[in-house]
Structure formats: C-alpha cells, structure tokens
Amino acid sequence: MLVFYKERLAFLSVPKTGTTAYETALAPRADMVISEPPMLKHAPVYRYNRFIRPMFERVCDVELEVMAVIREPVSWLGSWYRYRQRPFMTGKPNSTHGISFDDFVLAYMKGDKPAFADVGSQFQFVKSQPNGTGVTHFFRYEDQQKLQTFLQNRLSFDFELKNENVSPTMDVNLSEDVARRFRKKCAEEFDLYASIN
C-alpha cells in the first residue's frame, strides 16, 4: 500500500495486479509505504478502513481517496495459477504443480477451498464498508496507460515501471464449461470488472 498525504490518496495493493512494480517506482514519492508483512501490504478496504483511515482522520483530520487496480477475473486467476507454478513451490500445499487450470478454477469455486486455490477475491478486497469507505478510483489492469496517466497527473511525478514479481509464462485457458460455470458462480467479480470505465 502506498499513501500520498498531500495528494490525499491511498493506493491499495490488490494482489496479482502489478502493484509491486508501482510500489517500487513510486516509493520515493510516497509518504507511507507498507511493503511488509503481506497482510498489511495487501490490506483490503475493510482493513484500510479499520487501521489506516482512522489514523489520518483522527490525527490529521483528512479523508484520503482510495484507488485500486482490478484485473479481468480469468486473467487474475491465471496469474495466481502461474505464480504458484514457480519451481520452488513444488511439494507445497499451495502449489499448482500437477493441477490443470480447469481444476484450479473449479477448486476456487468451492466453499471450502483447498490451499492451492485459496487466493481471495478481488470483489471482497474492494468491497465498500458500512460507513461508506470504499474505492474512489478504479482502474483496469489491462489499461496501464490510463492508470499511469492518472498517477503522473495526480502526483506530478514521472516514473518508469520495471517488471517485478512476475508469474511464469505459460498458456492458461479454461474449457467453455468451466468458464461458463465460473462466470455464473462468481458473477460479482465480472460485474465489478465490467463497471470500470
């Protein structure tokens, strides 16, 4: 997570949406960088609302706008699947070695997910809270130009991105049946993505 106090902006770090590269590029410009531990680096809206927002509200009397990047749902799961294919993951409970992408997505759709498919939810990550705290600015992962232009304009800061924390390259395709079931079961993920201009 990155916080830019003067610009009244918090950049949430949705996993598998390229935010590590933005963290590296923008850290020198940020007023607060939370890069460890993962549960704080990747703090969802509810955790931001509970811990970060009150700090700025009570101490500084300011409300930050919140931004987040959302990835197309199949692509997002594909990135997780590939990420858990890294060689050193072999034999670990959350490894996807020996598991097809179809089986990974089918396992993801279960109520009680096995470790290898327990990767959270973009929809739940950015879900608005009862007090109204939510994401002010959404960006599609697939539209990097719009995201970068927004940040350069808002921060008056030019930056270059480098590839970081990249998943191994491989083809990941869902069968038509699993794709249809995923779209139906996790409709809120697709609706969220479709709502972003």
Mean pLDDT (whole number) for 109-129: 97
In Å, how far from its chain's centre is CA 173? 21
Q: What is the residue type of 30?
A: A
Long-range contacts of 185-192 (CB under 8 A, 24+ apart): 185/109, 186/73, 186/109, 186/121, 186/123, 188/123, 189/73, 189/76, 189/121, 189/122, 189/123, 190/73, 192/70, 192/122, 192/123, 192/126
Cα separation, 150 vs 33, in Å, equals: 19
Band (166; pLDDT cuts 50, 70, 90): confident
pLDDT value of position 171:
87
Residue from 179, 32, 46, 30 nearest 124 by CA: 46
- Structural domains of the chain sorted by starting position, each given as residue range(s) with its CATH number in brackets: 2-194 (3.40.50)
**CB-based contacts of 55, cutoff 8 Å, min separation 6:** none
Share of the chain above pLDDT 90, in %: 95
pLDDT digits (tens, 9 = 90+) for 135-159: 999 999 999 999 999 999 999 999 9
The pLDDT assigned to 169 comes to 86
pLDDT band at 3; cut points 50, 70, 90: very high
pTM here is: 0.94
pLDDT band at 188 (very low <50, low <70, confident <90, very high): very high
Strands 65-70 and 9-11: parallel
Is the confidence at residue 13, as pLDDT, over 90? yes
pLDDT at 54: 97
The pLDDT tens digits of the residues spanning 49-71 come to 999 999 999 999 999 999 999 99
Q: Each residue of 84-106: pLDDT tens digit?
A: 999 999 999 999 999 999 999 99
Q: How confident is the model at residue 168 (pLDDT cuts 50, 70, 90)?
A: confident
- Reduce the secondary structure of 14-26 to three states and give it as a string: CCCCCHHHHHHHH
Question: What pLDDT digit, counting tens, does each position of 25-53 carry?
Answer: 999 999 999 999 999 999 999 999 999 99
Average pLDDT, the chain: 96
